[in-house]
Amino acid sequence: MYSDKIMQIFANPKNVGTLKGADATGEATNEFGEVVKIFINAEDGIITDAKFKAYGSVVAIASGSTVTTLIKGKFLDDAINVSNEMILESLGGVIDKEKIPSLKIAREALLLALKNYKDKFGEI
């Protein structure tokens, strides 16, 4: 049902939790009631830390872990370019079509966190 890569990430997700005093947060939900929340800290335009919390399926949790891993150390304006395709590729490239919304909410949460950062600090 799920690739070995997805199951590995789900079983041992990275960057789980919250960041007290996070510079920005973004939370997204989908039609299945799944929720992913992304927390980011940045300095000099570079994401220094990122964490996530998720309520949902294997894919939602694995996607949250993947997104935070992909953006750590990136410039904020580069993080905007993290695509659903990049997330999917990092998860091993194959998921059932009905799980695509579970993958997409991690990116939506990221984009909302970046918008929150821009609203607070006026820059990305």
pTM assigned to the model? 0.94
The answer to whether residue 123 scores a pLDDT higher than 80 is no
Burial of 81 by CB count in 10 Å (0-12 exposed, 13-18 middle, 19+ buried)? exposed
In tens, the pLDDT along 42-66 reads 999 999 999 999 999 999 999 999 9
Reported CATH class of domain 4-119: alpha beta
Position 88 scores a pLDDT of: 92
Question: Parallel, antiparallel, or unpaired for β 35-43 and 24-29?
Answer: antiparallel
pLDDT band per the 50, 70, 90 thresholds, residue 94? confident
